[in-house]
Amino acid sequence: MDPNYRTMIDFLLGLGTEDVEHSGQKGFLAHLVGVSRDLEAWGCNQDLCRTGLFHSIYGTELFQRFALPLQRRGDVRSLIGERAERLTFVNCFMDRSSFEELLESDGPFRFRNRETGETIEVSREDYDDLVRVRLCDWLEQVPRSNRWDYRRDAIRRMAERLGGVAEESYRQVFAHAPAAVESQVLIVPPVPFLRLNPPWPSECKPGSSPPASPYPRHG
């Protein structure tokens, strides 16, 4: 187990993530833990597993029910490390369409920041690890959300880019998709957008997700 696991979980609990809805009957914190554990089961290193635990902490293009203010990036960085926090930030603020345009590319890896429109450039290693996080994130939640057609072609291409256990995990999860999924426009009702104000009290097979509660507390 990551030596900082309990401290990281306490941090997330202190932000109220356990009470934020996410997908199906699973809350936000349980989803974060599930993604981290699945990345660990895929054989990913500590940096990437920590990224999985915080992967959408600043909000993403799709998930807008919670967003930690960017003024707190330093707190997250000191907790999970420079690379894990940087990958977390990029995962949260990437424009997914421009990111996905590079799935068959050998580089350079440049895509847009969805908020500012600025160009984000990453190494091949970082790009492939971001693909791992994106793919694992979706595989962990799609059976509950039942949104099998969301960016389905891109999800398949992510699995094909990574190959190995990631591609096999994709096949196992999507084997449960409806036999014929028609493309459709999904109308999602608006949800509360939670922002907090201070102070606050590697190739990578999905493993089993932990129960939403209770979580180990530090000390």
The whole domain housing 20 covers 5-178+189-195
What are the structure tokens assigned to 14, written together?
């202190």
201 lies in a domain? no
Distance CA 165, CA 161 (A): 12
Cα 185 to the chain's mean position, in Å?
23
202 lies in a domain? no
Low-confidence ranges of the chain (pLDDT < 70): 180-219
What are the structure tokens assigned to 91, written together?
């995962």
213 lies in a domain? no
For residue 23, which amino acid is it? S
Size (the chain), residues: 219
**pLDDT at site 192:** 47
**pLDDT at site 24:** 83
How many alpha carbons fall within 13 Å on the CB side of residue 28?
A: 23
162 lies in a domain? yes
What are the structure tokens assigned to 116, written together?
């500012």
204 lies in a domain? no
**pLDDT at site 212:** 43
24 lies in a domain? yes
Full-model pTM = 0.82
Q: How many separate domains does the chain show?
A: 1
92 lies in a domain? yes
14 lies in a domain? yes
Indicate which CATH number applies to the domain containing 137.
1.10.3210.10
Give the SS3 label for residue 208: coil
Closest CA to 62 of 151, 128, 1, 139: 151
